[in-house]
Structure 1
Amino acid sequence: MRLVIVFLLSALLPLSLSHGRDPFAWLYGRQSQGNYFGSLQADTSGGACPDVCDCPPTFPVAMYCDGRGLTAMPTIPSRIKYLYLQNNAITAVPDSALINATNLVWLMMHHNQLTSDAIGKKVKLHLVLVRSRHIYELRVTPADLEGMDNLTILYLNDNAVTEMSTSLKALTSLTLLDISGNKLTKVTSGLPEHLHQLYLESNSIESLPEGFLGSLTELQYVRMAHNQLTDKGIPSNTFNVTGLVELDLSFNKLERIPIVSTTLQHLYLQANQIKEFSLGSFCSIVDVTNFSKLQTLRLDGNEISRQDIPSESSLCLRQASTIEV
């Protein structure tokens, strides 16, 4: 079975649109279960569990060293897949720290005293899950990730990324890419073909390349709020792609509603400079049999009002439950 690999360089964000829900909560429960099985024989394959940590016999591939006052990395048995080191005082993670951790999948190290300079280069590339609110100014570029074929979720948000490397396309297993909160001014069309979620908000992106999303047939969620996008910078039909469920283009500089697919369900365009409610952006033909599946449409904070909504909208946007103007 191929391991699900996750890479996170800032505070852990939701893996889907269900905000506030921790998708790893089921794992945390394993820690408390270990307290009830102290009489079971411990698994020592790949090395014994350090005395300062707990390796529950019922979950032998996990090692819990959180909240132990550690200042340095413990020895990690090779069988360990899930390592919990949060809430300590660890100041460095050299490359040698993970030399024996050949099966490591998830690593929790939030609430320590790490800085970017204290993390080895190989560690940066092979840490799989880092909840790192206290890793300051961590600098990893997309090019550094070349060859990580099993990577499925990549968070590079809130760093200093200035360009999207074409090497991202080689991440063939990637389903979620978050490069929000960086310094991008443009994006590449060479994105991993199996992406489901693409987050590019809070950059300085002014334009998009031709065919930007055309090859991403599995893409469902695109967030590009808080950029510098203009009508001129978006090629026609860029967002008219089947399969897209949510599109967020709020807080940009758009003057027109872009053409979107009739299968789109949620469209956020608030705080732009839109001056016209163009029904053709949603339905190329307006009649009883042709309509949009749009459920949510936000146009508040633009230069239009409810009086600008054409009467034919009741046909085209018949499934919309929320239209804010």
Structure 2
Amino acid sequence: MTIRYLYLENNLIETIPEKPFENATQLRWINLNKNKITNYGIEKGALSQLKKLLFLFLEDNELEEVPSPLPRSLEQLQLARNKVSRIPQGTFSNLENLTLLDLQHNKLLDNAFQRDTFKGLKNLMQLNMAKNALKNMPPRLPANTMQLFLDNNSIEGIPENYFNVIPKVAFLRLNHNKLSDAGLPSSGFDVSSILDLQLSHNQLTKVPRISAHLQHLHLDHNKIKNVNVSVICPPTLPAEQDSFSYGPHLRYLRLDGNEIKPPIPMDLMNCFRLLQAVII
């Protein structure tokens, strides 16, 4: 009998020995969420021998670092709600098939990352590092990253030209951080790839520059007092001057929890003509 899916969640498993998996050459999916697994309990070749493994779920365990070595075939690695504070050098160097890496709700500090930490993740699309203890944006992210989730950290600023290395990022979440106006790049978030930008619960006093392509903007619960439309209204997209969707694409804007008083400024509505919802 060929086993492709193995579900062992909600047990008291502490170790992953090598021997039980010696003949499990067709395993595609392992779910070991909610156990008591530690890094010391994982034998060195136990996971890397699974040459066809695609999904590895180790959420809610006792891991203190990202396990290694892992099989090249892996597409999703879920490590949420562990105690991960270390990423050993070379951990991701051979994981070119990985598309999703979930490290949310761990104990990551800035010193967990080296410039080459994410080298090798050529196809990574979603990176979740929410609910950690980061003060800076992680360095040198994979170029194909489309979804970057960094909510609930202590990030104070974003380096100039930070988004140049991730030109495909479309969904960016930075809610519940410590971002201020001074901590943003001079061009703000004028990044053509970003479609959904979430900056709720920060320390911004003004609306940052945005791209004409942006569709959803969350700025609730900051310290914004007014909206300077002449600054934030993106220039018209040349390719769309004669199209039906003329002008900026913003459809949803959230500004509640700031110091802005109604009514909604008319020049805001004149700039963002596709707006379907504005919350103040």
| CA shift in 2, pair 1:242/1:161, >3 Å | same
2:200 to 250, 267, 274: 250
Indicate yes or no: 2:54 matched with 1:102: no
- Which position in structure 2 is the counterpart of 1:83? 30
Q: Aligned Cα RMSD in Å? A: 3.3
| CA shift in 2, pair 1:245/1:142, >3 Å | farther
Indicate yes or no: 2:230 matched with 1:283: no
Q: Distance in 2 between matches of 1:120 and 1:259?
A: 37
SS in 2 for 1:122: coil
The correspondence of residues 31-42 of structure 1 with structure 2, limited to 5 A, is 42=1
Q: Distance in 1 between matches of 2:11 and 2:260?
A: 58
- The Cα shift of 1:236 comes to 1.7
Q: TM-score, normalised by structure 1?
A: 0.69
The correspondence of residues 105-124 of structure 1 with structure 2, limited to 5 A, is 105-109=54-58, 114-116=61-63, 121-122=67-68
| Unaligned stretches of 5+ residues in structure 2 | none
The correspondence of residues 1-325 of structure 1 with structure 2, limited to 5 A, is 42-43=1-2, 55=3, 62-64=4-6, 66=8, 73=16, 75-76=20-21, 77-85=24-32, 92-98=41-47, 100-109=49-58, 114-116=61-63, 121-122=67-68, 129=76, 136-141=82-87, 143=89, 145-147=91-93, 148-163=95-110, 164-170=113-119, 171-188=121-138, 190-280=140-230, 281-284=232-235, 291-307=247-263, 309-325=264-280
| CA shift in 2, pair 1:157/1:235, >3 Å | same
Question: In the TM superposition, what whole-angstrom CA distance separates every residue of 1:191-211 from its partner, at most 9, and x where no partner exists?
Answer: 221110111111111111001
SS in 2 for 1:64: strand
Q: Distance in 1 between matches of 2:69 and 2:259?
A: 50
Matching residue's letter, 2:251: Q
Question: In the TM superposition, what whole-angstrom CA distance separates every residue of 1:242-288 from its partner, at most 9, and x where no partner exists?
Answer: 12110001111001100001110000000000111111313347xxx
Between Structure 1 and Structure 2, how many residues are aligned?
A: 260
Percentage identity across paired residues of the two chains: 27
Q: Distance in 2 between matches of 1:120 and 1:270?
A: 34
The answer to whether the 8 Å contact 1:225/1:249 transfers is yes
- The Cα shift of 1:228 comes to 0.7
Structure having the higher Rg:
1
Question: In the TM superposition, what whole-angstrom CA distance separates every residue of 1:176-231 from its partner, at most 9, and x where no partner exists?
Answer: 11111111111255222111011111111111100111342211000011111111
- The Cα shift of 1:96 comes to 4.3
| CA shift in 2, pair 1:101/1:237, >3 Å | same
